[in-house]
Amino acid sequence: MDTPATHTPATHAAATNTATAAMAEILELDAEVLGTYLSELTTWLGELSDREPVRIVDLGSGTGTGAIALARRFPRAGVSAVDVSPQMLHRLSVKASGLGLADRVHGVQADLDQEWPALGPSDLVWAAAALHHLADPERVLSHVFDALRPGGLLAVTEMDFFPRFLPEDIGVGRPGLEARLHAALKGAPAAGWTDHLVRAGFTPEAERAFVIDLPTPLPVATARYARACLRKLRSHLDGQLPAEDLDALDTVTDDESPHGVLRRDDLTVRTTRTTWVGRRP
Ligand SMILES: C[S@@+](CC[C@H](N)C(=O)[O-])C[C@H]1O[C@@H](n2cnc3c(N)ncnc32)[C@H](O)[C@@H]1O
């Protein structure tokens, strides 16, 4: 019997590439729309550092939005961007070259669930929206501890919830569409990273919540960012919401619809990120 087309290794690889490309687009748009927050965060880490970081590691770097923000914030630093995905690292290296940062931002391909790459001693390790992907984050945190010099910092950032963009009255006959779709996807509340940091040997240095509610005029990439995020949420929602909500969601991500996010002038950007900072004693 023929293997169904949907189950061949080639179609699996194609689906993985499509998913990676979609994630890469979200990461890029996220950094573009939330550039002010990224800049605030790197500035704060500079203030917490006992001296200017010159050896930085970005774990689960994705396309390198963090690695590049750090290289810009700390102009003497070399940044090793570690990721399991060659596609993500390719994007990072193209971007770093385009920005004249190729000599200071390097991709390192490694699966952190399998191996700890040889990175040398570091002043600052950054892990944004990355640790929750790992099978055993505490094992990785103990490697981070060993890789940091005494006094060096680890900064773990996680998104508390996916950004929200839509006004409350969206949802034909049933306002509150976006709240319902977030509620449908809500998992257990995140417990935070302080205990993990302590168990790995770090001294908790600071915890900061960044509450983001962008003022108008919004960055030009906002509509594309909203579309990419809402489409990503939509891909998890089959069977989780009534058909009328899914139809309404399809309408707001439809580029041809007059109600689609690309044509709306009533979007907002609201989200919260939290950063936990630990210091190696
Ligand atoms: C949500 S993205 C965050 C990317 C980036 N830190 C940012 O904030 O834009 C998570 C990244 O972790 C990477 N990743 C997931 N599991 C990994 C693993 N086991 N080893 C290394 N990287 C991993 C993924 O490839 C992806 O690029």
Residue 11 pLDDT: 80
What was the pLDDT predicted at 92?
A: 98
Which residue's alpha carbon is nearest to atom 9 within ligand 1? Answer: 27
Go through the domains of the chain in sequence order and give each one's CATH number: 5-165+188-214+269-279 (3.40.50.150)
Cα(109) to ligand 1 centroid in Å equals: 11
DSSP 124-181: EEEEES-GGGSS-HHHHHHHHHHHEEEEEEEEEEEEEEEEE-S-TT-STTS--HHHHH
pLDDT number for residue 187:
72
Residues of the chain scoring pLDDT < 70: 1-7, 171-172, 188-189
- pLDDT number for residue 7: 65
Q: What is the pTM of this model?
A: 0.93
Spell out which residues line ligand 1, taking CB within 6 angstroms: 27, 60-62, 65-66, 83-85, 88, 111-113, 128-130, 133-134
